[in-house]
Homo-oligomer: A and B are copies of this chain.
Amino acid sequence: MANDRIRLESLKDKIMTAEQAAFLIKDGMVVGSSGFTKAGDSKAVLPAFAERAKKEQIKITLMTGASLGHDTDGKLAEAGALAKRMPFQVDRVLRNKINAGEVLFIDQHLSESAELLHNKNLPSVDIAVIEVAYIDRDGSIVPTTSVGNSVTFAALAKQVILEINMAVKEDMYGIHDIYQAEDYPHRNVIPIVAPWNKIGRKTIPLDPSKVVGVVFTDMLDSPADIAPADPKTTAIAQHILAFFENEVLLGHLTDRLLPIQAGIGKVANAVLMGFKDSNFYDLTMFSEVLQDSTFDLIDAGKLSFASASSVTVSADCYQRVFGNLQKYRDKFVLRPQNISNTPGLIRRLGIIAINTAIEFDIYGNVNSTHISGTKIMNGIGGSGDFARNAYLSVFVAQAASKGNAISHVLPMVSHVDHTEHDVDILVTDIGLADLRGLAPRERAQKIIDNCVHPDYKEQLQSYFDRARERGGHTPHLLEEAFSWHLRLAKTGSMKE
């Protein structure tokens, strides 16, 4: 069995346990690891390193594709093994350590980490840990359920540890499109003009002399937990679908729309599921992560092709797709995240981007990352890559939460991830604000009219009216701009 999975004879000498491999990671090293939204992450070596760090004072800088599964980030953080982490995380324990200042976190546009490494704008990677389906005869590797930044880590790391996951079938071969742009100043065109274009190799090139360890694992990715639709997510999805239907009526779009990017979570899922019973057809996706809804739409005959950097699905959906890959292999492709998220392709293909906001303000600025301006939740992820360059940039949020003690539509966001320049459509369960072609004062009135929860409408209108009296292109009362956040901290509610 192992023989099948290590097809380059010389690497069979490198087989070791995860614990042995964890000792190859030294204190102070920069580690680049596979894994993107739980998919294709290190399931043995990083957890073994976390165990080791419980007993020793060792800290690393850890770069990944995006978030890891199996609480790995939490275990590493708990053990004090992380000095610095980038470019994304979603773990509760790690988040608390970051907010306490115990772990340094760099929140990066997901398309940029590989660029920064190639450009030497980040420290070089000492050792990479990459999950693979198998090692090919030329030493190149077949990744699993994500590509993430693994192509860059394999190219640039001084040493590489490979985790061969026996729970993953070898027929993963061929679902990846491995392409790496040339170095500056000799970079060429990335020749993708449609989501289904494959332009690269099927395996990740790797110099076998860099491989210092091969570890066997046998464990599937942590499954996605998808919260079922609720009345709010359903309302948001309905507003968006009605908007798309109207754009078709106006002749702005066809029934095939344009390639869709959808962030993670139940709203995105609800929107995608809404297409199932719609008149839209021959839809495509050009996104970062494919969730259950993607495969449901493929099965329903609505979605023709999906491009992304990872597949993060429920246990049932995993079996449906990867237990019968022959049925799906021409329907999707996984790319490096500096290709799936690259600004030039997003503009070239004309993406419809749907992402989630923590809060937005009356001028259309969006906070995707910080609670009350200071505490990070997850990270900006790919939302900036897509929102800036999309044909249409949609952000969604519930209008209010926690028994309406919190309004997610505010005078001023406490942290800006996406400026008003990058936001076309805002949607809450209350309604949709189409901000295209509107100046700031028009945006404000439209957002107050359409998106804010009724409990906060008067209060928000009052802010805007009083700010407008004082003047400015973007009227604000700086002394009051964060009063809603401050009131929440003091009284437990944003209500006056």
Contact = CB atoms under 8 A, between A and B. Distances in A.
A416 B414 contact: no
A231 interface: no
A486 B478 contact: yes
B479 A108 contact: no
Contact of A189 (B101, B115, B193, B439): B193
Contact of A188 (B193, B414, B467, B472): B193
A463 interface: no
A104 interface: yes
A193 B376 CA distance: 38
A473 B437 contact: no
A322 interface: no
Interface string A342-380: 111101111000000000000001000010111110001
Interface stretch (A140-148, A417-425, A452-460): A417-425
Contacts of A121: 252, 392, 424, 436-437
Contacts of A112: 421
A16 interface: no
Query: Which bracket fits the contact residues of A?
Result: 35 or more
A89 B109 CA distance: 30
A246 to B, nearest CB: 13
A342 B347 contact: yes
Contact of A421 (B107, B345, B441, B471): B107
A490 to B, nearest CB: 10
A485 interface: yes
Interface of A: 84, 98-101, 104-109, 112, 115-116, 119-123, 181, 184-185, 187-191, 193-194, 250-252, 256, 258-259, 342-345, 347-350, 365, 370, 372-376, 380, 384, 388-389, 391-392, 414-417, 419, 421, 424, 436-439, 441-442, 467-468, 470-476, 478-479, 481-482, 485-486
A252 B120 contact: yes
A265 B109 CA distance: 30
B474 A374 contact: yes
A415 B364 CA distance: 12
A187 B193 CA distance: 7
A109 B250 CA distance: 26
A375 B193 contact: no
B472 A375 contact: yes
A189 B190 CA distance: 8
Contacts of A419: 384, 416-417, 419
Contacts of A190: 348
Given A343-B344, A481-B482, 19 more contacts: A98-B473, A99-B473, A100-B471, A101-B468, A104-B441, A105-B473, A112-B421, A119-B350, A119-B392, A121-B424, A185-B194, A185-B259, A188-B348, A342-B344, A344-B348, A374-B474, A375-B471, A376-B472, A479-B486
Contacts of A256: 185
A474 to B, nearest CB: 6
Contacts of A370: 472-474
